[in-house]
Amino acid sequence: MTITTVNISDVYRMRITHFVDKLMQENWGFRERLDKTKVINDVTQSMQEKFTLQQFIAIKDSELQRRLGQRMAIVSMNGLITDFTQEQMTAFNDAVVRR
């Protein structure tokens, strides 16, 4: 029997990749606007900085998927907003202020 050594970073990356893949399959906007590799790398890095391995593993799957979905939505929206013309940005800002 062979024992494989797994880098701690790989544990984060494997779990995050599973949910990023799932979210991208479910949401065409994520597929259109996000670079999957960049999302996985960025989230892996931030999760490692924020959570110990034990804390990360303890996060329920549904909670991790929710967090990843929110983060991906924010990044996706940011990319969309940067493509706005000046008129579109003004209309967007006016709509946000009214809410």
Whether the CB-CB separation of 16 and 44 falls below 8 Å is answered with yes
34 has a pLDDT exceeding 70 = yes
pLDDT (average), residues 31-38: 94
- pLDDT score at 24: 97
32-68 burial by CB neighbour count: b if 16+ within 10 A, else e?
Answer: ebbeeeebbeebbeebbeeeeeeebeeeeeeebbeeb
pLDDT bracket for residue 18 (50, 70, 90): very high
CA distances from 2 to 5, 6, 7, 8, 86 (A): 10, 13, 16, 18, 60
Q: What is the DSSP letter of 34?
A: -
Would the pTM count as exceeding 0.95? no
CA dihedral 57, 55, 47, 32 (to 10 degrees): 40
What is the band of 70 on the pLDDT scale with cuts at 50, 70, 90? very high
